[in-house]
């Protein structure tokens, strides 16, 4: 799976989750800091969006591929992101002909204690 330049800006890398689905890791770095000692909300949001995009593209490839465009993204911030790696995974709740509904969560030490979660709707243009 190839990631766009923006994923390099966040220094993201792809891991494989226990269920075989792709998962993204964002290392802590100055480039993603907001107020001192904490991740920038925008960087967390960007990570969640990339995790959602990776999940939709992974699901789309299984059905012949296609392009997606973001329509809406709603991020809930639950805990401050501290100075450690952050992981994020998207789950496609519905992959329709024209719209994909996705949920994504971001966590640090414990997946059961997310630092942020998001819901996204993507427009799907199948090839």
Partner 1 sequence: MLAPLRRGGGGVGGAGRSSGAQVAEAEFTPFDPERFARRGMGGHGARLGLTYRAHGPDWVELALPYDPAQIGDPGRGVIASGPILAMMDMATSMAIWTRLGQFRMQATLDLRIDYLRPATPGRTVIGRGECYRVARAIAFIRGQAHDGDPADPLAHVAGTYMFLDGPR
Which runs of E-coded beta strand occur in 1-127?
Answer: 13-16, 22-26, 66-77, 86-95, 99-107, 116-126
Candidates 13-21, 25-33, 86-94, 101-109 — which segment interacts with partner 1 by CB under 8 A?
25-33
Question: In the complex, what is the shortest distance from the CB of residue 62 to partner 1, in angstroms, rounded to a whole number?
Answer: 21
Binds partner 1 (CB under 8 A): choice among 30, 62, 98, 110 = 30
48: exposed, middle or buried (C-beta count within 10 Å: 0-12, 13-18, 19+)? Answer: buried
Helix (H) or strand (E) holding 59, with range, is helix 41-61
Q: Give, rounded to a whole angstrom, the gap between the first and last alpha carbons of the chain.
A: 18
Q: Binding to partner 1 by residue 23, rule CB under 8 A?
A: no
Report the C-alpha gap between 98 and 5 in whole angstroms. 26
Give how many residues touch partner 1 by CB under 8 A: 34
Q: Binding to partner 1 by residue 77, rule CB under 8 A?
A: yes
Q: Binding to partner 1 by residue 75, rule CB under 8 A?
A: yes
- Residues at the contact surface with partner 1, assessed by CB under 8 A: 4-6, 8-10, 29-35, 39-43, 45-47, 49-50, 53, 69-77, 80
């Amino acid at each position: 799976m190839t990631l766009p330049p923006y994923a390099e800006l966040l220094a993201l890398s792809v891991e494989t989750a226990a269920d075989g689905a792709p998962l993204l890791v964002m290392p802590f770095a100055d480039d993603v800091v907001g107020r001192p000692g904490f991740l920038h909300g925008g960087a967390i949001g960007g990570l969640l969006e990339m995790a959602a995009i990776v999940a939709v593209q992974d699901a789309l490839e299984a059905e012949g591929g296609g392009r997606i465009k973001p329509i809406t993204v709603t991020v809930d911030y639950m805990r401050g992101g501290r100075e450690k790696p952050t992981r994020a995974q998207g789950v496609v709740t519905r992959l329709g002909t024209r719209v994909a509904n996705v949920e994504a969560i971001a966590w640090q030490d414990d997946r059961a204690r997310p630092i942020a979660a998001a819901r996204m709707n993507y427009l799907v243009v199948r090839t």
